[in-house]
A and B are shown apart, each in its own frame.
Chain A
Amino acid sequence: MQLLNPIALLLALTIPLIILFYILKPRYQEKTISSTFLWEKVIKDLEVSRPWQKLQRNILLFLQIMAAFLLALALSRPFVPLEGKAGSHIIAVIDCSSSMMATDVRPNRFEIAKGQIEDLIDKLGPYDLMTIVAMGEESRVMISASDSKIKLRQALQKIEITAGSASWGPVLEMIESLVRDEQRCKLVVFTDGGLKKPKNDHKLDFPVDINMVGEHGDNIGIITLASRKHGDHVVVLTRLCNYGSEPLKADLELRVDKNLQDVKEVELKPGITRSVVWEGIDSSANVVQVKINRPDYYMLDNEAYTVVKQTDKNRVLLVTTGNIFLEKSLGLLPDVELYRTTPENFHKEMTGYQFYVFDRYIPAETPRGGILFIDPSGDNVFIKIKGEKKGIYQPQKTERDHPLLKYVETGDWRIASCKEIKCPAWCRTVLESKHKVPLMVAGELNGQRIAVISFDLHNSNIPLKTGFPILINNLAQWILSPEDGVVMDVSENSFRLGHTAGIEAVYIEKEGKQVSQYHPPFPASFTLPEPGLYQVTRVMSNTKKTNYLAWNSLNPQESNIAPVEVAFKADENPKGPKTRTSSQEIWPLLVWAILLILVVEWEVYRRGY
């Protein structure tokens, strides 16, 4: 049930008043009289003896009839048509991007914008409607075309600031669809500028009022922060930018695992970006924090975290009699140390590699680790080879979006001959010929990731095609990907687990305080509430594994907090008639009239008229 006028519920307060009237009703006063003979006859006359009697002129009767009539009238919700000023539909859009956290106006730009919208709500006319839209990466309509000031305020209070940017385009598209056939609309935007420009050129046919929030742009912020292992130490790179209009000096702190490692004084001219590099940081470092030790109006970009990758470079052993294409492709892979040997020199004791590539060779005993077999031959425990097939094969993907063939274009690949292999149960065919001859299969056997290419690369044009290095990269990524890792999503506000088997619980902590905990079944993606450094603990039957995740709110678009005027094309004159016929419900008046009648009736009854 919806109430058009919830304040009318206050009328319920009159119920205790009516009850009070009845409580106050005087008690019977006892009186002994000579005889009740005639009084009995009077009572009988009035109450019992005559079920129907001639209507008498009685004030109480009149009042009760009038109250009943008014009640019936009120329940029928009568209205009177009014010729009045046409109301406007105001669409208030509030920028929820992180730059609205800037404190150049107190308490911050976002709260000021909210206050301005509240003023707008207060000034709404009796026939005005308002829609409130929260503009972020994704825009949300908080309330649509409402004239209830209470509901509008409630919707406004629910809006929260986001860690990302605000996009102008989706809002405009949404508003266009919202007010498609409406007249007398007005768009009021509360923003500090810095909006992502729309892809299409929008032109609204109603007035747009841009309310700029914010005054100053004094901010120095971190743009990027990265770390990598270089030999036995860690290198940290950060870039800073002065978005203000004055040259600024700031102390830049470097903390490694919360311990202050170094402080550098940085001087930046307006609009200038500068890189700062720290080298020689101990390789045991887990988390590196960089902090600008200077207060400004936008503190979100004054510190950033980076998690140092703990794994060393992956060692890859290529066993081949000679394959320059393969060797070059593997050599291009990042974080890979490529070793090469021949089948003759390969020995089963050659362990310690994370990735083995056997080109036209299968050893009698395979070491532990990820394996890529190319053009396998001979008997082996992994794959059964029926024979060799010759002919021109045009490979086809079995799945459109298989991760091994992501971004790989296979349309112009041609293969002259291949081994006829049988796809084992633990494998899936990734690439096959038109006649369903498997050309590439991949799977996991006893925790070992294994891929098989059934043809000699030299008997194809594939190494000459652009998809080849991508294929090798995908294969290496898949084979080398951590089995139990924690992978941050690109959007940075969520992460995924490599696998969830055996995990009994996942705890997410920030600054030593637990933010959330999960138990099976786990979601595909774990959402983080706000930027910062997180500690993700996975509890298994016997062990606990902890990883750090850093979510930095580093966004040059948002760090540049200087208010930027939003240029916009819009009609200045609202369309639509200036007057309209509306209706005014009069039931509240009737309710008050009924209440008044009840009071009068009680008084009449008390006085005994």
Chain B
Amino acid sequence: MKEYFNQEFLGHLERLVLRIKKLKSGTKSGDRRSLRKGHSVEFTDFRNYTPGDDVRYTDWNSYARSQKLFIKLFVEEQNVLITIFLDMSKSMSFGEPPKEKLARQLAGAFAYIILSGYDQLCLAGCIDHINQYLSPVRGKAAVKEAWDFLDRLDFTGTTDLNKALQDFGRYFHRPGLSIVVSDLLSSRGFKEGLKYLQYLKQEVVLVQILAPDEINPSLFGDMRLIDSETGHVQEITISSNIVREYQKRLRHFTDDTRAFCYRRGIPFIQLTSNEHFDDIILHKMLPQGILE
């Protein structure tokens, strides 16, 4: 994993933060600002004193001016559990370059950003269940552990994101952020799984990675197509018409996914495996508001 990132790029990553619309409460204090008012150094507001309030937070200067008791409110800074779900199906190993490479890079970058921000990171490799799992880690010291985990992942299974994400409920019930990285090319679907994540009070980010060949197929003529995961055979005579029809179908699929995500408030980003990683971070993630 180290070979993917140089020091300069890691320096860029350190300055980035995963943006979460609603700050979830964490169990440990961290760098992330919670929506809850708490006890920290950053002032946010005043409120009237009510009996029982901690007198330490009384604003005596205001009392001196107005003879009224006000309580100072401060932003509570907490850490958040961020889980990255990586699709480990065999279809991810296809493409030139393979989709898995970008998936690993992306997960590695996210892991670095998360751990640099003192958030808790959890990694989960999914096939039709959670196949590989890295328990929540925290702090930059865990970056190596996370990257090693990513290096060990083997993309050979058969995807069923719905099942795999529902499987996630067995591990955590804490609110947090879930990043799902997959090609989504499975007849079993993924929407139910994403809904379930939201049900678990997860803020979800969906990243779809497609190979260039999947967007612009170079297949032609009488083909017997074999599904890498299921072994299903589809005989088809591919002509330019058929290719156009395929692209149309892919467009519908993407539009449908995007519409679903929009309805559910899920940021959705579609990537191609041959895109430059820097570009993805700088020109897609930042404009999309996933990173800040």
Most chain A CB neighbours (cut-off 10 Å) among B92, B238, B249: B249
State the Cβ distance, A492 to closest chain B Cβ, in Å. Answer: 80
- Taking a contact as CB atoms under 8 Å apart, the answer to whether B240 and A35 are in contact is no
- A35: chain B residues at CB < 8 Å are 91, 183, 185-186, 227-229
A485 to B235, CA, bound (A): 90
Q: Cβ of A80 < 8 Å from any Cβ of B?
A: no
- A579: chain B residues at CB < 8 Å are none
Known contacts A39-B246, A42-B249; A27/B228 CB under 8 A: no
A554 to B74, CA, bound (A): 150
Contact with A along B115-152 (1 / 0, CB 8 A): 00000000000000000000000000000000000000
- A40: chain B residues at CB < 8 Å are 187, 232, 234
State the Cβ distance, B85 to closest chain A Cβ, in Å. Answer: 18
Who on chain B is nearest to A26 by CB? B222
Q: Cβ of B11 < 8 Å from any Cβ of A?
A: no
Known contacts A32-B226, A609-B240; A37/B186 CB under 8 A: yes
Contact with A along B76-105 (1 / 0, CB 8 A): 000000000000001110110001000000
A160 to B6, CA, bound (A): 108
Contact with A along B225-255 (1 / 0, CB 8 A): 1111110111111111110011001100100
Q: Cβ of B35 < 8 Å from any Cβ of A?
A: no
Who on chain B is nearest to A607 by CB? B239
Q: State which of A26, A33, A46 has its C-beta within 8 Å of the C-beta of B227.
A: A33
Q: Cβ of A31 < 8 Å from any Cβ of B?
A: yes
Q: For this complex, into which size category does the number of interface residues on chain A fall?
A: 20 to 34
- A45: chain B residues at CB < 8 Å are 245, 249
- Taking a contact as CB atoms under 8 Å apart, the answer to whether B239 and A608 are in contact is yes
A29 to B242, CA, bound (A): 16
Who on chain B is nearest to A604 by CB? B239
Known contacts A31-B226, A32-B226, A35-B228; A608/B237 CB under 8 A: yes
Q: Cβ of A38 < 8 Å from any Cβ of B?
A: yes
Q: State which of A25, A32, A34, A42 has its C-beta within 8 Å of the C-beta of B214.
A: A34
Q: Cβ of B220 < 8 Å from any Cβ of A?
A: yes
Q: Which of B205-234 touch A at CB < 8 Å? A: 211, 213-214, 219-230, 232-234
- Taking a contact as CB atoms under 8 Å apart, the answer to whether A38 and B225 are in contact is no
State the Cβ distance, A544 to closest chain B Cβ, in Å. Answer: 81
A498 to B257, CA, bound (A): 112
Known contacts A37-B186, A608-B237; A31/B249 CB under 8 A: no
A38 to B220, CA, bound (A): 16
Known contacts A37-B185, A40-B234, A43-B236; A31/B242 CB under 8 A: no
- Taking a contact as CB atoms under 8 Å apart, the answer to whether B94 and A33 are in contact is yes
- Taking a contact as CB atoms under 8 Å apart, the answer to whether B241 and A58 are in contact is yes
- Taking a contact as CB atoms under 8 Å apart, the answer to whether B222 and A29 are in contact is yes
Who on chain B is nearest to A59 by CB? B241
- Taking a contact as CB atoms under 8 Å apart, the answer to whether A31 and B225 are in contact is yes
Most chain A CB neighbours (cut-off 10 Å) among B211, B224, B235, B240: B224
Q: Cβ of A30 < 8 Å from any Cβ of B?
A: yes
- B249: chain A residues at CB < 8 Å are 38, 41-42, 45
A327 to B213, CA, bound (A): 130
Contact with A along B183-201 (1 / 0, CB 8 A): 1011100000000000000
Who on chain A is nearest to B227 by CB? A36
- B220: chain A residues at CB < 8 Å are 608
Who on chain A is nearest to B159 by CB? A35
Q: State which of A29, A37, A42 has its C-beta within 8 Å of the C-beta of B221.
A: A29
A67 to B171, CA, bound (A): 66
- B235: chain A residues at CB < 8 Å are 28
State the Cβ distance, B258 to closest chain A Cβ, in Å. Answer: 16
Contact with B along A305-317 (1 / 0, CB 8 A): 0000000000000
A40 to B214, CA, bound (A): 14
Known contacts A40-B234, A58-B241; A33/B253 CB under 8 A: no
- Taking a contact as CB atoms under 8 Å apart, the answer to whether B226 and A27 are in contact is no
- B225: chain A residues at CB < 8 Å are 31-33, 36, 39
State the Cβ distance, B216 to closest chain A Cβ, in Å. Answer: 13
Q: Which of B44-72 touch A at CB < 8 Å? A: none
Report which A residues bind B (CB closer than 8 A): 25-43, 45-46, 56, 58, 608-609
Q: Which 9 A-B pairs have the closest CB atoms?
A: A608-B239, A34-B94, A34-B91, A35-B185, A28-B224, A36-B227, A32-B226, A36-B234, A30-B224
Known interface pairs A28-B222, A45-B249; 10 further A-B residue pairs with C-beta atoms within 8 A, sorted by A's residue number: A27-B222, A28-B224, A29-B223, A33-B227, A34-B214, A35-B91, A35-B183, A36-B226, A42-B236, A609-B241
